[in-house]
């Protein structure tokens, strides 16, 4: 499925089979998750995508062929391809364990073709071995919703009372990880979305309510998965002194001005950008034994536009995963 220009629906197309370059692997795509970032790329909210582009950065694939010099995986092995597709390895960020901030980083499904396809190629150094406890469809959302959610959870600190704003693909996974760590989870959804609120309670949230309501008690940290800047002051009001508000999305609508006293008391607002390979290794170690359940709605690849439309409307429980027809 090709994005030919931002704002246009994806078009089903037959393209030449990708050829793995040096250090790359050719993958048969087994499943590819649909992430909100795909919507931001498709809608033109992220600048200068490669065009035409194959979206998709939660790729579960089977190695079909090795490019020159590629030796990390064997043909037939199952691997995951995340958002971080390539980094320079030499800049200050890369050399200080912050490759997620590399100035020259290239991202899967933005500057590099991704997984809304039957086959794709990936740099083997950025592929992640996947825990065998998860099937192909179940593993797909772990690769971004899970991974970036994990990075956001770490950035939120170790406070016990955790608020999650926007209960979609990332929050449904991170709520379970947080519960696993013994934290208390408070879930905030779009006002009126009682389905998402009961979904959150099923996954261990002790309280779930609309994002315009205050939590029943102050929070130690809040993670914003919803791309709504108006939630930043709302979340700041919900956290106690010393609390952190983490903005986990790559794009957010403008943040309205707010009075200094809701930031006062050593509250912190920060963003989380992309992921490092180390985040992937840590996260897959945590969820290795099948510690969390991924809620997915599989759809055939040809229905990618429908998945994007429904994601835009919030009409999904958990995550959409596309499977090649
Ligand atoms: Zn770099
Ligand atoms: Zn993503």
Of 184, 164, 133, 138, the closest CA to residue 31 belongs to 138
For residue range 104-133, what is the model confidence (pLDDT) as tens digits? Answer: 999 999 999 999 999 999 999 999 999 999
- What residues contact residue 310 under an 8 Å CB cut-off, 6+ apart? 316, 320
Q: How far is the CA of 26 from the centre of ligand 1 (A)?
A: 24
What distance in angstroms lies between residue 112's CA and the mean position of ligand 2's atoms? Answer: 14
pTM (global) more than 0.85: yes
Q: How far is the CA of 94 from the centre of ligand 1 (A)?
A: 4
73-100 tens-digit pLDDT: 999 999 999 999 999 999 999 999 999 9
96 C-alpha to ligand 1 centroid (Å): 10
pLDDT for residue 66 is more than 90: yes
Residue 291 pLDDT: 81
- Distance between CA 123 and CA 156 in Å, rounded? 31
Count CB atoms within 10 A of the CB of residue 210: 14
């Amino acid at each position: 499925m090709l994005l030919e220009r931002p704002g246009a629906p994806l078009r089903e197309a037959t393209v030449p089979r990708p050829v793995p370059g040096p250090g790359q692997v050719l993958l048969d795509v087994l499943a590819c998750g649909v992430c909100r970032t795909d919507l931001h790329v498709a809608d033109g909210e992220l600048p200068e995508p490669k065009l035409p582009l194959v979206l998709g950065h939660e790729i579960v694939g089977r190695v079909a062929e090795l490019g020159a010099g590629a030796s990390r995986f064997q043909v037939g092995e199952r691997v995951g391809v995340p958002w971080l597709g390539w980094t320079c390895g030499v800049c200050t960020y890369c050399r200080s364990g912050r490759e997620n901030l590399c100035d020259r980083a290239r991202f899967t499904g933005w500057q590099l073709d991704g997984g809304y396809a039957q086959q794709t190629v990936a740099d083997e150094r950025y592929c992640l071995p996947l825990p065998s406890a998860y099937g192909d469809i179940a593993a797909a959302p772990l690769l971004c919703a899970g991974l970036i959610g994990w990075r956001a959870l770490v950035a939120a600190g170790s406070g016990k009372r955790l608020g999650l704003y926007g209960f979609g693909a990332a929050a449904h996974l991170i709520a379970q990880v947080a519960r696993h760590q013994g934290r208390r989870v408070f879930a905030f959804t779009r006002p009126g979305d009682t389905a998402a609120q009961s979904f959150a309670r099923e996954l261990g949230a002790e309280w779930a309510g609309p994002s315009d309501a205050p939590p029943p008690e102050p929070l130690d940290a809040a993670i914003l998965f919803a791309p709504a800047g108006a939630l930043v002051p709302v979340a700041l009001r919900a956290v106690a002194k010393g609390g952190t508000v983490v903005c986990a999305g790559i794009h957010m609508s403008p943040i309205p001005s707010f009075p200094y006293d809701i930031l006062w008391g050593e509250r912190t607002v920060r963003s989380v950008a992309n992921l490092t390979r180390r985040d992937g290794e840590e996260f897959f170690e945590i969820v290795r034994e099948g510690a969390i359940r991924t809620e997915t709605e599989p759809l055939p690849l040809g229905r990618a536009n429908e998945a994007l439309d429904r994601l835009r409307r919030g009409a999904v429980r958990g995550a959409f995963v596309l499977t090649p027809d």
